[in-house]
Amino acid sequence: MAHNLPEMQVRVCVVGCGISGAGAAAELVKAGHTDLVVVEAMGRAGGRVHTAKQGSSHIELGAHWIHGEDNNCVYEWAMQHCPHAIDKELDFTQTGIGQTTFVNPHGEEVPRDVTDSFQDMMVILDHGDMTDGYNNLAHYYQQQFSEHNKWGSVGWQLLDWHGRFQSLIDGSDSWHSVSAATREEYWECSGNLIINWNNPGYQTLVDHLLDTIGGERVLLNSPVSRIEWGGADGSNSRSCSRCYDSVQSLTSGVQSSLSIATNPAPDDVQRSREEKCAECGRSVEEASDSRKRSQCRVTLPDRVVVADHVIFSGSLGVLKATARHLFQPSLPDAKLRVIDNLGFDTVAKIYLEFSERWWPEDCNGFSFLSDLTTAPPDLIQSWEEQMLGFYTVRQQPLMLIAWICGPSALAMERTPLPEVIARCATVLQTRLAKLCSVTKPVWGTRSVWGSNPYTQGSYSFRSCASDHCDVWAADLAQPLPDIQHPVLCFCGEATHEHYYSTVHGAWESGKREAARLMHHWEHGTSGPAFQWTIG
């Protein structure tokens, strides 16, 4: 039972040590606010950034690229501190575009002039007006394409492939569930949109954040079972930094910021407790009593973390699964409505390694088109039929990567790994029998973001339900109980109003919540409203 567990007292408890949570903690520590702890359910930091060593290089099981340059905090940090760690050269390996061979359902290569002209049309449609009454992203593309298709049935096969490709980009089960009307809410950072990491990969950023925080402030293997987030009025958060320091000093028996002498007389201590703070007007005693009444309690398997503020950085998928029982008191209905209706599905990767390269040197991979004249395959039983294709992997010359999303991705994740490797090998040997002499893979692995209980999906998107319910990422970012009293704060890529689904959005959201708390500690509830400038 939680009441029998030892307690750990801190000013801030950050739940989750992904890029957003670690980013929030790092900002606080850099500013001198070191009285914090980061609790992470998994046995590693990084969250949905997960770099794995393979051979002499690495693979990315989670976030893959730096998306853009201008106003991208990840790119700007890397260029300033470790420019050797990134490769700015435009490289389409692993992406599904570039020098990719499209293969029709009969195992034949689609002519390059057809695929090139199709891709040119997609670029035009990508920049078209999607706000004029389209039900979803698929509706927009299908209607526009029907007016310009000059390739017949192969054109529709290519569009079907493009729909799966777009779902991978958005992180959705299907492009039928993605909003077209509010597409402009996502902002691209100009510059190269697919910047690769050199060895040791995205782990470079994770290590930087951990070094800044300090390992003693991070608790791994510490899943949270309950978050009690204080009084509904948020009274604990009204303490200014001066009051907080005074309470800490009196509690620990050291000299306080209210000029208590070493080994003071009892009367001096009492007078100091009653002395009003010049900043917020409360006495140390009032601040201490208020703090005790409404502190947050975060229950872990081996302890309870007692904190003035909680920054929750878990994924939107985790919130969807746990929000109704994790928090006490319950989250407001408005917050639950946001959690329920923002989009968050699963994208998965499968890596295969071979003893030799059997595909052409000038080929970046193979994209598989589906036969639209027959009944569609079962998304669960025949998940391998929904793979986008297999593509070369940067710095891994004998490796291919397959991408898959939605229910098929979840079905793949639940399939034993040896069977996944075998079924992928069968797809390659069957679909490419006329084009290549495919050999069997000697090694393989896959991501499991959808079935991981501490992520429950990959990244967020603006769904049609988001539009229908008029909920936004900015709503998810709003602290509780309100902006004036940020007791329970939220960060993570899904809380970024314009950079959702990205690592730079995650990191910036963590910086935002750290800045929110520091602004509150400095100005209190009566000061200027907190404002955050994107980028």
Q: Distance (Å, rounded) from C-alpha 4 to C-alpha 177?
A: 46
Per-residue pLDDT of 243-268, as tens digits, reads 555 545 554 443 333 333 345 565 65
Q: Distance (Å, rounded) from C-alpha 246 to C-alpha 288?
A: 9
The number of C-alpha atoms within 13 Å of 304 and in the hemisphere containing its C-beta is 15
Within 10 Å of residue 527's Cβ, how many Cβ atoms?
Answer: 12
Structural element, H or E, at residue 419 = helix 417-431
Question: What pLDDT, on a 0 to 100 scale, did the predictor assign at position 59?
Answer: 98
Which two three-digit tokens encode residue 221? 């293997």
For residue 11, give the nearest of 38, 44, 42, 35 by alpha carbon: 35
pLDDT(138) > 70: yes
Lowest average pLDDT, out of 178-187, 429-438, 466-475, 522-531, goes to: 522-531
Q: Distance (Å, rounded) from C-alpha 377 to C-alpha 33?
A: 55
Q: Are residues 222 and 39 in contact, defined by beta-carbon separation less than 8 angstroms?
A: yes
User: For residue 402, what are the β-bridge partners?
Assistant: 350, 390
Average pLDDT estimate for 230-239: 51
Average pLDDT estimate for 454-480: 98
Q: 273 or 354: which carries more pLDDT confidence?
A: 354
Q: How confident is the model at residue 338 (pLDDT cuts 50, 70, 90)?
A: very high
Structural element, H or E, at residue 205 = helix 203-213
Structural element, H or E, at residue 520 = helix 503-523
pLDDT(135) > 80: yes
The number of C-alpha atoms within 13 Å of 464 and in the hemisphere containing its C-beta is 15
Question: What pLDDT, on a 0 to 100 scale, did the predictor assign at position 271?
Answer: 58
Average pLDDT estimate for 21-40: 99
Question: What pLDDT, on a 0 to 100 scale, did the predictor assign at position 95?
Answer: 83
- What is the CATH code for 100-189+347-446? 3.90.660.10
Q: Distance (Å, rounded) from C-alpha 487 to C-alpha 12?
A: 10
Q: Is 427 helix (H, G, I), strand (E, B) or coil?
A: helix
Q: Are residues 506 and 496 in contact, defined by beta-carbon separation less than 8 angstroms?
A: yes
For residue 235, give the DSSP letter: G
Q: Distance (Å, rounded) from C-alpha 413 to C-alpha 407?
A: 10
Q: How confident is the model at residue 97 (pLDDT cuts 50, 70, 90)?
A: confident
Name the one residue in this structure whose structure tokens are 């209706």: 341
For residue 430, give the nearest of 495, 368, 490 by alpha carbon: 368
Q: Are residues 417 and 446 in contact, defined by beta-carbon separation less than 8 angstroms?
A: yes
Which two three-digit tokens encode residue 171? 């992180």
Q: Is 390 helix (H, G, I), strand (E, B) or coil?
A: strand
Question: What pLDDT, on a 0 to 100 scale, did the predictor assign at position 253?
Answer: 41
Assigned CATH class of 2-52+204-230+295-343+455-523: alpha beta
pTM metric for this prediction: 0.90
For residue 494, give the nearest of 510, 470, 517 by alpha carbon: 510
Which two three-digit tokens encode residue 343? 């989009």
Q: Distance (Å, rounded) from C-alpha 95 to C-alpha 457?
A: 20
Question: What pLDDT, on a 0 to 100 scale, did the predictor assign at position 184?
Answer: 93
Q: Distance (Å, rounded) from C-alpha 255 to C-alpha 262?
A: 6
pLDDT(41) > 50: yes
What is the distance between the terminal CA atoms of the chain, rounded to a whole angstrom?
44
CATH 3.90.660.10 location in the chain: 100-189+347-446
Omega into 200 within 30° of 0, i.e. cis?
yes
Which two three-digit tokens encode residue 416? 């034993």
Most distant CA pair in the chain, distance? 93
Q: How confident is the model at residue 237 (pLDDT cuts 50, 70, 90)?
A: very low
Q: How confident is the model at residue 89 (pLDDT cuts 50, 70, 90)?
A: confident
Residues in the chain: 535
CATH 3.50.50.60 location in the chain: 2-52+204-230+295-343+455-523
Q: Are residues 338 and 476 in contact, defined by beta-carbon separation less than 8 angstroms?
A: yes
pLDDT(131) > 50: yes
Question: What pLDDT, on a 0 to 100 scale, did the predictor assign at position 251?
Answer: 46
Per-residue pLDDT of 388-426, as tens digits, reads 999 999 999 999 999 999 999 999 999 999 999 999 999
389-393, strands of its sheet edge to edge: 100-103, 365-368, 389-393, 396-405, 347-354, 441-446
Within 10 Å of residue 491's Cβ, how many Cβ atoms?
Answer: 33
- SS3 letters for 306-321? EEEEEEECCCHHHHHH
Question: What pLDDT, on a 0 to 100 scale, did the predictor assign at position 534?
Answer: 85
- SS3 letters for 98-163? CCEEEECCCCCECCHHHHHHHHHHHHHHHCCCCCCCCCCHHHHHHHHHHCCCCCCHHHHHHHHHHH
For residue 332, give the DSSP letter: P
Average pLDDT estimate for 349-372: 97
pLDDT(104) > 90: yes
Q: How confident is the model at residue 96 (pLDDT cuts 50, 70, 90)?
A: confident
Question: What pLDDT, on a 0 to 100 scale, did the predictor assign at position 525?
Answer: 81
Q: Distance (Å, rounded) from C-alpha 299 to C-alpha 172?
A: 32
